[in-house]
Structure 1
Amino acid sequence: MSGFFYVLDEEARILFVDDDPILREFAQVNLASAAAEVDVAADGIEALDMLSRRRYDLLLVDLEMPRMNGFELLARLRSDPETAHLPVIVETGREDVDAIDRAFRAGATAFVTKPMNWRLLSYQLRFTLRAARAEAALRDQCRAAVPVAA
């Protein structure tokens, strides 16, 4: 039997976007660690406001929210060059084919269903963060290799 350890052991800023205040609280308790910081937003509008003031490494976004839902938020994120490559994991109670297809077409990186297994989700976040950072490093290498036109 091994002791408890934090899965998210690399520095990360995570924004959890969900209209359920209890889930927002659970996200902060279950996903935050000494290295990983978790902020919360109640809907897409609040999330965009927070993104305008701070850089995040990953977003967890519910689909069904008032004011601006997850589909609209994904569309806004993907249309902005600053957030076009930001990893976004959709977390929702919906698991119908339409919701899954719409989320990935809108730009979701991954999809998890509620109720959430917080431990499993932590591992998914760790993997998604590592993949996104590797992809960003490759993009930077490609930009550096392309000569700038005078």
Structure 2
Amino acid sequence: MRVLLVEDHLQLAESVAQALKSAGLTVDVLHDGVAADLALSSEEYAVAILDVGLPRMDGFEVASQIRQDEQLKELPIIMITSRSGQKHRDRAMAVGVNEYLSKPYQETVLLESIAYWSQVHV
């Protein structure tokens, strides 16, 4: 299963990617929203994992672009962020995010979320 991980903090991105790879997933790691938008138009993913605070195009914008794209609109989106306030959670749900995980989170929770949403998407 191929997963897109978009996280601008390099160490965290590497740590999460390693955990996902250890679970048998193929992971493409990108560090900004524009690169994510380009990758989504050329690759097929089971799930997109987005941070909120991305350079050039934030996670909310990327999620909104996904939902507006006829080919991608059903792609499950998991947002991982340190912004745990209700207004951020509400905004994420408004743009079509499937699940919102606040940092720090347990890797098992992320893996369970990926497993669940990838099955829903099939």
Scaled by the length of structure 2, the TM-score of the pair is 0.94
Correspondent of 2:91 among 102, 118, 124: 102
Q: How many pairs are equivalent?
A: 122
Q: Deviations over 1:5-40 (max 9, x none)?
A: xxxxxxx11001111101110121101147410111
Aligned residue runs from structure 1 range 1-150, under 5 A? 12-33=1-22, 35-133=24-122
Give yes or no for contact 1:27–1:38 (8 Å, CA) kept in 2: no
Which sections of structure 2, spanning at least 5 residues, go unmatched?
none
Larger RCO: Structure 1 or Structure 2 (Cα < 8 Å, ≥ 6 residues apart)?
Answer: 2
Which sections of structure 1, spanning at least 5 residues, go unmatched?
1-11, 134-150
Deviation at 1:77, TM superposition (A): 0.7
Q: Which structure has the larger Rg?
A: 1
- Measure the CA separation in 2 of the matches of 1:116 and 1:54: 27
* 1:15 aligned counterpart, secondary structure: strand
Q: Which aligned runs of 4 or more in structure 1 are off by greater than 6 angstroms?
A: none
Q: What is the RMSD of the two structures over their aligned residues, measured on CA atoms? A: 1.2
Give yes or no for contact 1:74–1:108 (8 Å, CA) kept in 2: yes
Q: Deviations over 1:63-97 (max 9, x none)?
A: 11111001111111111101111000010001111
Scaled by the length of structure 1, the TM-score of the pair is 0.77
Q: CA 1:132/1:66 → structure 2, altered by over 3 Å: closer, same or farther?
A: same
